[in-house]
Amino acid sequence: MIDLAETKRALDGKSPEAVLEWAFGAFPRIGISTAFGPEGCALVAMAARIKPDIKIFTVDTDFLFKESIELREKFAAKYGVHIEVVRGEVSIEEQNKKHGLNLWQRDTDLCCALRKVEPTERVLKGLDAWVAGLRRDQSKTRADIDVVEYYERPEGPLYKVNPLLHWTRKDTWDYLLKNDIPYNPLLDQGYKSIGCWPCTKPVDADADERAGRWGGQKAECGIHTFMARKG
């Protein structure tokens, strides 16, 4: 256990790199989850310089754009990191058989639970801390994230670390371009946030960042909301 209040005080105003360095030292069983959005790309590139053997995992829902798959392969090659690709226990065939074709058209919550949340939860069971590339100004659902958060679960405490919480979208892009970090080419084609192809659309330049996801019906898949935060 860490002293959460004291840790938040100590990390206040620190750079993302400093937060990562603290987290990698504080938690031996730590991993970064990413879907290789712009923030995830920045975070993985940053982390690879600090701790090249850091655990990195990504969920493959079997509904990803080919550009997203190519990007994660590019990252592994460019930064020499191992990227663990995890999938839901239920295959697409089993999902179709049990729930019918194109579940995302009828129940995005169930589809996301099977394809995204379940595999994420499974990986997190083996960790004491996870790092995510969330920003406070991405959406209302992320406005109250903290640099370190505490979650209770049967396996013991889980800490979530958000090194980029104070970044803006511009900060992210400045970092990517300055450091020549690869990003998803769909982001140059009107997409602002990229998930599965059935649930992701390009949006107008002035639209909210996550407006192109799930036709605006929801803003989160559940990966960042399935556990109740305790601190």
Q: How far is the CB of 42 from ligand SF4 (least distance, A)?
A: 22
Q: How far is the CB of 62 from ligand SF4 (least distance, A)?
A: 9
Instruction: Give the active site residue among 41, 112, 196, 221.
Output: 221
Q: How far apart are CA 3 and CA 25, in angstroms?
A: 15
List of residues contacting ligand SF4 (CB under 6 A): 61, 63, 104, 108, 111-112, 115-116, 195-196, 198-199, 221
Q: CA dist 117 to 20, 93, 122, Å?
A: 24, 18, 9
Answer whether 134's CB lies under 8 Å from 39's CB. yes
Phi, psi values for residue 229, rounded to 5°: -75, 135
Q: In terms of CB distance, is 128 or 192 closer to ligand SF4? A: 192
221 is annotated as an active-site residue: yes
Tokens (6 digits) for 220 = 């989160």
Q: In terms of CB distance, is 60 or 128 closer to ligand SF4? A: 60
Q: How far is the CB of 86 from ligand SF4 (least distance, A)?
A: 13
Q: In terms of CB distance, is 7 or 34 closer to ligand SF4? A: 34
Among the listed residues 85, 20, 11, 84, the one whose alpha carbon sits nearest the alpha carbon of residue 51: 20
**Catalytic annotation, residues:** 221
